Amino acid sequence: MKFSIYSLFPELLSYYLNDGLLAKASDKGLVEFNIQDLRKFATDKFKHVDDRPYGGGSGMVIRVDIADKAIEEVKNDEIAPDEIILLSPSGERFNQKIAEELAQKKHICILSARYEGFDARVESLVSREISIGDYILMGGEIAALAIIEATARLVPNVIGDAVSHQQDSFSTGLLDYPSYTRPEDYKNLKVPEVLLTGHHAKIDAWRQEQALQRTKERRPDLLAKG
């Protein structure tokens, strides 16, 4: 699976993607990261890619012609992207279902903004707009990484335990059950007795009950969606 990411700060993405499980997955050829600097499409010696917004207002806007050049480049890739995603607060809210959908694709392109975002005309040039939540970041790099990691970990063999991600929070529609490891008793905080019994049916029932209870207490909105 290939990810093409266009950003004004490609080094931020490279630093993260060149370490950990994603780097190992890349070394194995399971995923590929194509990180590009939007400034390479600038036409002046100062590498400007933004300008002041028409009508006035604060901040700078990334120009539509810069984004269009990036999109045209990625469309001419050996494997054309299945999705060209614009990161935008106006986009659909990213969730596990979307991650699972994207994980079935061969090539995803992500446009990562800075400043006041992209010229609104870029919206007509992409296939999808996505937001990772109702809060403000200084740029789209963290959002891009969140989407990449949530999606790439679903690609077969990227994580060691093929069953693990199927049991994680949100994959089942519930929060995950609580997990414990050694020491068995730490400052009088003890591991639940049922987990020490070795009785798998009882453990499974306890975990299901805990997942449901946690979801009711902490994220009842997930149950409402069900």
- 3-state SS assignment for residue 172: coil
Question: Is 37 one of the catalytic residues?
Answer: no
Helices assigned H by DSSP within the chain: 10-17, 20-27, 64-75, 96-102, 141-152, 164-167, 200-218, 220-225
Question: Is 83 one of the catalytic residues?
Answer: no
Amino acid at residue number 124: S
> For residue 35, how far is the Cα from the chain centroid?
15
Burial 108-136 (b: 16+ CB within 10 A, else e): bbbbbbbbebbbeebeebbeebbbbeeee
Q: Which residues contact 73 (CB under 8 A, 6 or more apart)?
A: 36
89, 149, 207, 219: which one is catalytic? Answer: 89
**Which residues partner with 92 through β-bridges?**
130
73, 116, 123, 149: which one is catalytic? Answer: 116
10, 50, 119, 153: which one is catalytic? Answer: 153
Query: Are residues 85 and 110 in contact, defined by beta-carbon separation less than 8 angstroms?
Result: yes
d(CA 17, CA 145): 8
Question: Is 73 one of the catalytic residues?
Answer: no
d(CA 150, CA 200): 29
d(CA 62, CA 42): 11
Question: Is 10 one of the catalytic residues?
Answer: no
As given in the structure block, the two tokens for residue 203 are 């453990």
32, 51, 77, 168: which one is catalytic? Answer: 168
The set of catalytic residues is 89, 116, 153, 168
